[in-house]
A = this chain, B = another copy of it.
Amino acid sequence: MSTTEIQHSPAQDEAPGTTERAETQSLKSHSLAYIADDTTGIRVPVTEIALEISPNGEPNAPFRVYRTEGPGSDPVVGLEPFRAPWIEARKDTEPYSGRERNLLDDGKSAVRRGAASAEWKGTQPVPRRAVEGTTVTQMRYAKQGIITPEMQFVALRENCDVELVRSEVAAGRAIIPNNINHPESEPMIIGKAFLVKINANIGNSAVTSSIAEEVDKLQWATKWGADTVMDLSTGDDIHTTREWLIRNAPVPIGTVPIYQALEKVNGEANALTWEIYRDTVIEQCEQGVDYMTVHAGVLLRYVPLTANRVTGIVSRGGAIMAGWCLAHHQENFLYTHFDELCEIFAKYDVAFSLGDGLRPGATADANDAAQFAELDTLAELTKRAWEYDVQVMVEGPGHIPFHLVRENVERQQELCQGAPFYTLGPLVTDIAPGYDHITSAIGATEIARYGTAMLCYVTPKEHLGLPNKDDVKTGVITYKIAAHAADLAKGHPGAHERDDALSKARFEFRWRDQFALSLDPVTAESFHDETLPAEPAKTAHFCSMCGPKFCSMRISQDIRDEYGSAESQAALAEMAAGMREKSQEFLASGGKVYLPELSVGGRA
Q: Does A435 contact B (CB under 8 A)?
A: yes
Find out whether the CB atom of B207 lies under 8 angstroms from the CB atom of A532. Answer: yes
Q: Does A411 contact B (CB under 8 A)?
A: no
Closest residue of chain B to A336 (Cβ to Cβ) is B593
Find out whether the CB atom of B600 lies under 8 angstroms from the CB atom of A502. Answer: no
Closest residue of chain B to A578 (Cβ to Cβ) is B301
Q: Does A506 contact B (CB under 8 A)?
A: yes
Task: Please provide the chain A residues from 546 to 572 with a CB less than 8 Å away from any CB of chain B in the complex.
Answer: 546-553, 555-560, 562-564, 568-569, 572
Docked CA distance A412–B318 (Å): 46
The 3 closest A-B pairs by CB, nearest first: A312-B556, A206-B547, A319-B552
Docked CA distance A432–B489 (Å): 16
Tell which of A489, A545, A579 has the most Cβ of chain B within 10 Å.
Answer: A545
Task: Please provide the chain A residues from 416 to 447 with a CB less than 8 Å away from any CB of chain B in the complex.
Answer: 428-435, 437-439, 441-442, 445-446
Find out whether the CB atom of A506 lies under 8 angstroms from the CB atom of B322. Answer: no
List the B side residues contacting A304 at CB < 8 Å.
Answer: 559, 562-563, 568-569, 572, 576, 600
Docked CA distance A323–B434 (Å): 44
Tell which of A524, A562, A599 has the most Cβ of chain B within 10 Å.
Answer: A524
Which candidate, A72-80, A116-124, A173-181, A515-523, is the interface stretch facing chain B?
A: A515-523
Closest residue of chain B to A402 (Cβ to Cβ) is B489
Q: Does A208 contact B (CB under 8 A)?
A: yes
Partner of A465, one of B335, B428, B528: B528
Partner of A556, one of B235, B311, B500: B311
Closest residue of chain B to A564 (Cβ to Cβ) is B307
* Nearest CB of chain B from residue A215's CB, rounded to whole Å: 20
Docked CA distance A555–B327 (Å): 11
Find out whether the CB atom of B560 lies under 8 angstroms from the CB atom of A307. Answer: yes
Docked CA distance A439–B587 (Å): 38
Docked CA distance A593–B531 (Å): 66
Partner of A364, one of B500, B515, B602: B500
List the B side residues contacting A507 at CB < 8 Å.
Answer: 310-312, 361-362
Q: Does A109 contact B (CB under 8 A)?
A: no
Closest residue of chain B to A594 (Cβ to Cβ) is B331
Partner of A550, one of B316, B461, B515: B316
Tell which of A205, A363, A429, A553 has the most Cβ of chain B within 10 Å.
Answer: A429
Task: Please provide the chain A residues from 300 to 318 with a CB less than 8 Å away from any CB of chain B in the complex.
Answer: 300-316, 318
Partner of A313, one of B331, B559, B587: B559
Query: A residues within 8 Å of B by Cβ?
Result: 205-208, 234-235, 262, 266-267, 269-270, 300-316, 318-320, 322-323, 326-327, 329-331, 335-336, 361-364, 373, 380, 399, 401-403, 428-435, 437-439, 441-442, 445-446, 449, 460-461, 463-466, 468, 477-478, 480-482, 484-486, 488-491, 496, 498-500, 502-504, 506-507, 514-515, 517-520, 523-524, 527-528, 530-532, 543-553, 555-560, 562-564, 568-569, 572, 575-576, 579-580, 587, 593-604
Closest residue of chain B to A266 (Cβ to Cβ) is B549
* Nearest CB of chain B from residue A32's CB, rounded to whole Å: 20
List the B side residues contacting A445 at CB < 8 Å.
Answer: 402, 428, 442
In the complex, 23 of the A-B residue pairs with CB atoms within 8 angstroms, ordered by the A residue number, are: A207-B544, A270-B604, A301-B579, A304-B569, A307-B563, A312-B559, A314-B556, A316-B552, A322-B555, A326-B601, A326-B603, A361-B503, A363-B496, A364-B500, A428-B485, A431-B519, A432-B480, A434-B523, A464-B527, A464-B528, A464-B531, A465-B545, A466-B544
Partner of A552, one of B307, B318, B504: B318
* Nearest CB of chain B from residue A192's CB, rounded to whole Å: 15
List the B side residues contacting A515 at CB < 8 Å.
Answer: 433
Closest residue of chain B to A508 (Cβ to Cβ) is B311
List the B side residues contacting A560 at CB < 8 Å.
Answer: 307-308, 312
Task: Known contacts A307-B569, A552-B316, A603-B327; decide if A322 and B559 are in contact (CB<8 Å).
Answer: yes
